[in-house]
Structure 1
Amino acid sequence: MKKLALHWKILIGMTLGIIWALLSSSLGWSAFTINWIDPFGTIFINLLKLIAVPLVLFSIIGGVANIGDPASLGRMGGKTLLIYLLTTVMAISLGLLLVNVIKPGKLIDEDSRIDNRINYEIWAASEGHEVKDGINYLQDPNLKDRVQEISKLSNAQLSEASVSDKIENVKNQEQVSPLQPLVDIVPENFVAALSNNGLMLQIIFFALFFGVCLLFIDNEKSQPVLNIVDGINEVFLKMVDLVMQAAPFFVFALLAGVVSKMAGNDIGKVIEIFKGLSWYSLTVLIGLLLMIFVVYPGILKLFVKKIPYLGFFKAMGPAQTLAFSTSSSAATLPVTMECVEQNLGVDKKVSSFVLPIGATVNMDGTSLYQAVAVIFLAQLHMIDLTFGQQLTIVITTTLASIGSAAVPSAGLVMLIVVLNSVGLNPAWIAIIFPVDRILDMFRTVVNVTGDSVVCSIIADGENMLHFEDIKDPSKTFDLDS
């Protein structure tokens, strides 16, 4: 086991966790798993988040200040944001293409779709929305009895607490100034921003501001500060090393808890959940896997010739497997930085600047899923969205992905914004709740893979990529070697 690469150990831990959860479910031990094993998974994510925030802060400060040239910083920042924006638009477009070709929402039972359509029209009438395609099932005399029965059910569905809370939060956000997102980037209290993982953009703003200011003061005065920043950064990287030594066990606990909570003492629940949403889940998975194994490697090969296909995945294996198990780009960030620097040969000046920004603004997996989810939900309710409305989805999803927190299931909240943008019922997110946690794991792998690809492209463009100096990417980040 000592010679086994870290990502293989993590994969073994994940597999054993799922097997344990299914076994404990069949034997009626789910309560034991949730109470005595799952907490270790929570501890793991908490440890990674504990490291992630200060690591982002000191990495960006050190990365910006060590660039040494404000012009280089501006050029690198511009290229970083542009490439992140382009990959996001590509991910959304791929999602829309797949969902329009496969049409997962139209593969559901016809009677169920008619009921869903009646539900939609009842909601639209109550909220003052115009029915999208002009067809009115509520006026059909043949459906009068079904309309009366369904109208009672729809009221009960809309009262679901977990959904209504999220809708209320989005409504509150809609009442503020259009420039409020810009205002929110600038913290009024830096300590408060540090204590809240959801305010990562504020931390990045402060770190960029601090690092840029270091560039404009005398080297004699800035160097002692830089020495402290670099020293603290090394301490947090060592924390990552120590935590990752126990990653396979922690991942076992994490996956055992996730599956046990879904299954309870009935394995059939997991199977039924995926059967009901199978075509939707399959469409999202196809899109996410294409991004991971086709789109990103293609982009990388186009701009960076020196990194081979398999070499890239060997290098990023630990970060990708950890992203899958934690469902959090922010929690995975410390390991992503280690993999990119040690396994791909990216200079620390680039990785410490590009990756923290990517973990916050680059949500390609989330964007693709949101595009598929919106069209799927429309198809499920017999609504045909026009090209213009789908274009609105592209624009809204791109903007929403920038503000999406790098934590599990944050994409669901942003999905409400996208549904609102095309006049669809935000309460429909309850329909895809059951499979969201599993799909969230794959979405996070996409986000982390995209971050590392963009980081490699930027590093190569700045002549700060030294992959040829790495002897064996699969073993460099093996903590036991």
Structure 2
Amino acid sequence: MITMSNESTIQPANKKASLTTRIVIGMIAGILVGSFFQWLMPDGSDLVFNLYLFEISVKGLFVDGILEVIGQIFMASLRMLVVPLVFVSLVCGVCSLKDTSKLGRIGGKAIALYLATTAIAISFAIFIALIIGPGEGVNMPTSSSFTSREAPSLAQVIIQMFPTNPFASFAQGNMLQVIVFALLFGIAIALSGKAGERVAAMFDDLSEVIMRLVAILMNIAPYGVFALLASLFTTVSIETFGKLIVYFLVVLFVLILHATITYSVILKLLTGLNPLIFLKKMRDAAIFAFSTASSNATIPVTLETATRKMGVKNSIASFTVPLGATINMDGTAIMQGVATVFIAQVFSQDLTLADYLAVVLTATLASIGTAGVPGVGLIMLAMVLEQVGLPVEGIALIIGVDRLLDMTRTAVNVTGDSMVSIVVAKSEQQFDNDMYLDEQAGHTIEDIDFHHLKND
């Protein structure tokens, strides 16, 4: 008779691989399958099998059939979430600032700094990407469903930001108009008292539901990535993968440069503090952010770092840090800037100065509503690409390496949250200079008591 003396000996069968692992597997499998089809059908030819009375076309059945359908459904799902995600997240982000005192001087300073650093980040990213040209020379064909459009002038972009019919803006996917309406709607909710609180609670619930939709979409992402890359690589050389590595390195370079140089310069100019101390004290929080890839999950650590290591008073940090986790998405903006240039170059689409300015404006405003959870940056990128008329299927090229970049982006974002908290606290005389200069102040991550911290 066989007995089991210890339940711990029973091991769960086939532990599910992480999403990152599955996306990478899908990406590699898609490249291999697409390259195999290209070897079978060189120069765009077709391979036809005669099966009794039927002729089976490999290109028609697999490339233009099964793979195209799965890939385009995935892209359609990505587009489907753009408008509701941006609108609901923006409304939640803005109406959460319901304390009129915080909407005043302190809130104004924090929001201005967060948006300024985001605009600098994406402008810097576009500038570096244009110099390096990570996607030049690929000349990848677009899908037959994609048609380029004539870029509007900068004046037209500004005028068209304000909707005459917000419902038409939702239906047409005009994201700048959706963003402006969401900002105004959120402000109105914040200033509407009890009625506004009831509406805000409803939007908080909607945000939870949409985040669940995002999670569902990210779980089917490996299959969508496989289908898209398998279809793309039937006509594109494996050399394109080399360009993807260049893209990855450009994004990583700009992220590191922004975190170490841009933040240091702003901190020194506005406070006179030594930025080397700041970067050293940010180490634990940045590592934690890197491991979680979520600004929201890192709020307790960022708060602890700002208040007990940096010397920011809790009255300031308890407002600026959660606010930063909501609207400060410098790392995401950098990815969007480089990715826009990369995808435009890969598909040989020329963007005008007005297009690039529209990208800066769209990504900066949208950062207010970009949820601080993994994976959302790709959906926001779809919005930016559509704003300037670029094919959204280009996201398939970068999604495989995006998880590692997402982790790095989060570390950059929380570094920006702490920097802005210091600047605001210093300007409000709510800053302990001695604590900042004390290199032994604060705790390591292992010492943090999460229970007394509030994610408000």
TM range (shorter): 0.5 to 0.7
Instruction: Provide the aligned length of Structure 1 versus Structure 2.
Output: 311
Query: Matches of 1:476 and 1:91 in 2, distance apart?
Result: 29
Structure 1 residue ranges without an equivalent (≥5): 1-29, 39-55, 65-69, 133-169, 201-261, 263-271
- How big is each residue's C-alpha offset from its partner over 1:346-391, in whole Å with a ceiling of 9 and x where there is no partner? 0111101111111111111111110110110000111221212111
Query: Matches of 1:171 and 1:278 in 2, distance apart?
Result: 37
Deviation at 1:193, TM superposition (A): 5.1
Matched-pair contact (CA < 8 Å) for 1:330–1:406: yes
Counterpart pick for 1:331 among 290, 297, 301? 297
Deviation at 1:469, TM superposition (A): 3.3
SS of 2:343 mapped into structure 1: helix
Deviation at 1:310, TM superposition (A): 2.9
**Greater relative contact order (CA < 8 Å, ≥ 6 in sequence):** 1
Q: Report the equivalent of 2:71.
A: none
Q: Which moved more, 1:272-281 or 1:410-419?
A: 272-281
Query: Matches of 1:130 and 1:86 in 2, distance apart?
Result: 30
Query: Matches of 1:464 and 1:130 in 2, distance apart?
Result: 51
Change (3 A) 1:392 1:457: same
Does the alignment pair 1:469 with 2:438? no
- How big is each residue's C-alpha offset from its partner over 1:87-128, in whole Å with a ceiling of 9 and x where there is no partner? 11110111011101000001xxx4xx33x1x325x3334xxx
Q: Report the equivalent of 1:179.
A: 181
Query: Matches of 1:346 and 1:80 in 2, distance apart?
Result: 14
Change (3 A) 1:461 1:475: closer
- After superposition, the CA RMSD in angstroms is 3.8
Counterpart pick for 2:355 among 389, 392, 397? 389
Query: Matches of 1:124 and 1:72 in 2, distance apart?
Result: 45
Q: Aligned letter for 1:401?
A: S
Matched-pair contact (CA < 8 Å) for 1:274–1:435: no
Does the alignment pair 1:74 with 2:104? yes
SS of 2:282 mapped into structure 1: helix
Does the alignment pair 1:98 with 2:65? no
Q: Aligned letter for 1:382?
A: S
Q: Report the equivalent of 1:302.
A: 269
Does the alignment pair 1:119 with 2:147? no
Counterpart pick for 1:349 among 315, 322, 327? 315
Matched-pair contact (CA < 8 Å) for 2:142–2:391: no
Matched-pair contact (CA < 8 Å) for 2:134–2:243: no
- How big is each residue's C-alpha offset from its partner over 1:394-419, in whole Å with a ceiling of 9 and x where there is no partner? 11111121211111121111111111
Change (3 A) 1:273 1:199: farther
Query: Matches of 1:199 and 1:81 in 2, distance apart?
Result: 27
Does the alignment pair 1:130 with 2:146? no
Change (3 A) 1:199 1:320: farther
Matched-pair contact (CA < 8 Å) for 2:294–2:410: yes
Q: Report the equivalent of 1:291.
A: 258
Matched-pair contact (CA < 8 Å) for 1:273–1:434: no
- How big is each residue's C-alpha offset from its partner over 1:203-244, in whole Å with a ceiling of 9 and x where there is no partner? xxxxxxxxxxxxxxxxxxxxxxxxxxxxxxxxxxxxxxxxxx
Change (3 A) 1:278 1:389: same
Change (3 A) 1:423 1:355: same
Query: Matches of 2:149 and 2:102 in 1, distance apart?
Result: 51
Q: Report the equivalent of 1:243.
A: none
Q: Aligned letter for 2:329?
A: M
Counterpart pick for 1:89 among 110, 113, 119? 119
Matched-pair contact (CA < 8 Å) for 1:88–1:362: yes
Counterparts of 1:155-166 in structure 2, within 5 Å, are none
SS of 2:311 mapped into structure 1: coil
Deviation at 1:472, TM superposition (A): 4.0
Query: Matches of 2:424 and 2:105 in 1, distance apart?
Result: 10
- How big is each residue's C-alpha offset from its partner over 1:17-71, in whole Å with a ceiling of 9 and x where there is no partner? xxxxxxxxxxxxx955848xx9xxxxxxxxxxxxxxxxx99xx99x96xxxxx76
Query: Matches of 2:373 and 2:203 in 1, distance apart?
Result: 16
Q: Report the equivalent of 1:401.
A: 367
Query: Matches of 1:73 and 1:403 in 2, distance apart?
Result: 17
Counterparts of 1:38-437 in structure 2, within 5 Å, are 74-106=104-136, 110=137, 113-114=138-139, 116=140, 118-119=141-142, 122-125=144-147, 129-130=148-149, 174=174, 179-183=181-185, 186=189, 188-189=198-199, 191-192=201-202, 275=242, 277-306=244-273, 308-437=274-403
- How big is each residue's C-alpha offset from its partner over 1:391-447, in whole Å with a ceiling of 9 and x where there is no partner? 111111111212111111211111111111111112221221101111001111111
Query: Matches of 1:338 and 1:89 in 2, distance apart?
Result: 27
Query: Matches of 2:384 and 2:399 in 1, distance apart?
Result: 16
Change (3 A) 1:384 1:361: same
Deviation at 1:467, TM superposition (A): 3.0
- How big is each residue's C-alpha offset from its partner over 1:151-191, in whole Å with a ceiling of 9 and x where there is no partner? xxxxxxxxxxxxxxxxxxx8686599662454357464555
Matched-pair contact (CA < 8 Å) for 1:341–1:348: yes
Q: Aligned letter for 1:289?
A: I
Query: Matches of 1:353 and 1:293 in 2, distance apart?
Result: 24
Q: Aligned letter for 2:121?
A: A
Q: Aligned letter for 1:124?
A: F
Matched-pair contact (CA < 8 Å) for 1:80–1:458: yes
SS of 2:135 mapped into structure 1: helix
Which of the two has greater helix per residue? 1
Query: Matches of 1:98 and 1:464 in 2, distance apart?
Result: 37
Query: Matches of 2:317 and 2:447 in 1, distance apart?
Result: 24
Query: Matches of 1:383 and 1:172 in 2, distance apart?
Result: 22
Deviation at 1:198, TM superposition (A): 5.2
Change (3 A) 1:304 1:273: farther
Calculate the TM-score normalised by the size of structure 2. 0.60
- How big is each residue's C-alpha offset from its partner over 1:266-311, in whole Å with a ceiling of 9 and x where there is no partner? xxxxxx99756110001101110001111101111111223x2332
Query: Matches of 1:413 and 1:442 in 2, distance apart?
Result: 18
Structure 2 residue ranges without an equivalent (≥5): 1-12, 22-91, 152-169, 190-196, 211-224, 226-238, 449-456
